[in-house]
Amino acid sequence: MLQEKDFETASLSEIKALLKKHEAFESDLAAHQDRVEQIAAIAQELNELDYYDSPSVNARCQCICDQWDALGALTQKRSEALERTEKLLETIDQLYLEFAKRAAPFNNWMEGAMEDLQDTFIVHTIEEIQGLSTAHEQFKATLPEADKERQAILGIHNEITKIVQTYHVNMVGTNPYTTINPQEINGKWDKVRQLVPQRDQALMEEHARQQNNERLRKQFAGQANIIGPCYVWFYLHSPTPPPRATLTGRDLAF
In the chain, the domains with their CATH numbers are 6-237 (1.20.58.60)
Give the pLDDT score at 47.
85
Q: What is the CA radius of gyration of the chain?
A: 42
C-alpha–C-alpha distance, residues 100 and 93, integer Å? 11
Kindly indicate the confidence band of residue 254, based on its pLDDT and cuts at 50, 70 and 90. Answer: very low
Kindly indicate the confidence band of residue 192, based on its pLDDT and cuts at 50, 70 and 90. Answer: very high
221-251 residue pLDDT tens: 666 666 656 555 555 666 655 555 444 444 4
The yes-or-no verdict on residue 98 having pLDDT over 70 is yes
DSSP type of residue 1: -
From residue 41, how far is each of 32, 56, 72 by CA, in Å? Answer: 15, 15, 19
C-alpha–C-alpha distance, residues 107 and 146, integer Å? 11
Rounded to two decimals, the pTM is 0.73
Kindly indicate the confidence band of residue 13, based on its pLDDT and cuts at 50, 70 and 90. Answer: confident
The least confident of 87-101, 125-139, 180-194, 228-242 is: 228-242
Distance of CA 193 to the CA centre of its chain: 18
48-78 residue pLDDT tens: 888 888 899 899 999 999 999 999 999 999 8
